[in-house]
Amino acid sequence: MVKIHIVQLSRLRQPFNVGDEVAIEEVKMYVKKLKLTETLFSRMDKQYQRLSNFGLYDKLLKNNSRRELPAWKIDDNDIV
């Protein structure tokens, strides 16, 4: 039996916040506005890009503003 300690489940549900620098498919952008169905980004060339949150699900997304990446932690002592 393996016990998993949830560190920050909210990061799993919300991968970024307004103001975060993210890379989507290796394109660097800043998060400008979050909505229920879409997110507004500002690209490095000052152009805005609106992406559906559902469409972001299968894209390679890296949040460059967050230091702590894993959503869970497994300790060797917890493995039985």
- Percent of the chain exceeding pLDDT 90 equals 40
Digit-coded pLDDT (tens) for 44-75: 999 999 999 888 888 888 899 875 554 445 55
Q: Helices (DSSP H) in the chain: which residue ranges?
A: 9-13, 53-56
Task: Tell me the CB-side half-sphere exposure of residue 74, using CA atoms within 13 A.
Answer: 6
Has residue 10 got a pLDDT over 60?
Answer: no
Has residue 43 got a pLDDT over 80?
Answer: yes
Has residue 23 got a pLDDT over 80?
Answer: yes
5-70 classified as CATH 2.30.30.60: yes
User: So where are the chain's domains?
Assistant: 5-70
pTM for the full predicted model = 0.65
Q: What Rg, from alpha-carbon coordinates, does the chain have?
A: 15
Say which residue, 78 or 52, is predicted with more confidence.
52
Cross-strand bridge partners of residue 28:
23
